[in-house]
């Protein structure tokens, strides 16, 4: 019985020490009801790849929402896509060996198509939506070509990678 207690005590101490060494020097996560301050967020900068991955998700959700005629969701996803483009130019104006800054390229390839898509969504016009969505997609691919990332080809999604979201209104 004493051996079992000793083993239990050593196990508890080992777990406690492991946890302590893991969390040593790491800032505590803010409580969920606390709004993080600008200073607290200043230490985190998403990489361009992270932002682009979010853009890919928004692009797909936008296509699926539009195809389903869910204009409210399409408007929301387009707004999110626009915020992502803003993040790209704000946080990554220059990337690797790109010859022209992303602050110039992103608006050059996306501004007009995004505005056309916004108009199509407001009009709830499926034909205009499809044309404008394809123009946004072409803009993304043209920007990838201009930045020597042409191997990254964006397409309209063939099916939903989001089985846990309803796209129909």
Spatial separation of the C-alpha atoms in residues 31 and 12, rounded to whole Å: 27
pLDDT value, residue 34: 59
In three-state secondary structure terms, 163 is coil
pLDDT value, residue 35: 61
Spatial separation of the C-alpha atoms in residues 110 and 22, rounded to whole Å: 44
CB atoms within 10 A of CB 38: 6
Residue 124 pLDDT greater than 50, yes or no: yes
More confident residue, 54 or 38: 54
Query: 20-29, 60-69, 122-131: which range is least confident on average?
Result: 20-29
Residue 141 pLDDT greater than 50, yes or no: yes
Spatial separation of the C-alpha atoms in residues 73 and 87, rounded to whole Å: 21
pLDDT level of residue 1 (50, 70, 90 thresholds): low
| 121, 66 contact by CB (below 8 A) | yes
| pLDDT per position as a tens digit, 55-72 | 999 999 999 999 999 999
pLDDT level of residue 104 (50, 70, 90 thresholds): very high
pLDDT value, residue 43: 79
Average pLDDT along the chain: 85
pLDDT value, residue 14: 46
Return the DSSP state at 37. P
pLDDT value, residue 63: 98
Burial state string for 114-147 with b = 16 or more CB within 10 A and e = fewer than 16: bebbbebbeeeeeebbbebbebbbebbbbbbebb
CA distances from 43 to 27, 40, 126 (A): 12, 6, 43
């Amino acid at each position: 019985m004493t051996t079992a207690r000793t083993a239990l005590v050593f196990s508890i101490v080992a777990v406690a020490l492991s946890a302590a060494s893991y969390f040593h020097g790491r800032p505590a996560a803010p409580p969920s009801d606390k709004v993080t301050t600008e200073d607290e967020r200043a230490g985190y900068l998403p990489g361009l790849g992270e932002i682009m991955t979010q853009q890919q998700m928004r692009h797909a959700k936008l296509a699926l929402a539009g195809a389903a005629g869910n204009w409210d969701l399409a408007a929301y996803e387009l707004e999110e896509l626009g915020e992502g483009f803003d993040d790209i130019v704000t946080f990554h104006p220059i990337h690797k060996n790109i010859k022209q800054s992303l602050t110039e390229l992103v608006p050059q390839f996306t501004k007009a198509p995004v505005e056309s898509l916004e108009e199509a969504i407001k009009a709830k016009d499926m034909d205009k939506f499809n044309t404008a969505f394809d123009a946004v997609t072409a803009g993304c691919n043209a920007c990838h070509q201009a930045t020597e990332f042409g191997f990254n080809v964006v397409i309209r999604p063939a099916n939903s990678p989001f089985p846990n979201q309803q796209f129909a209104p």
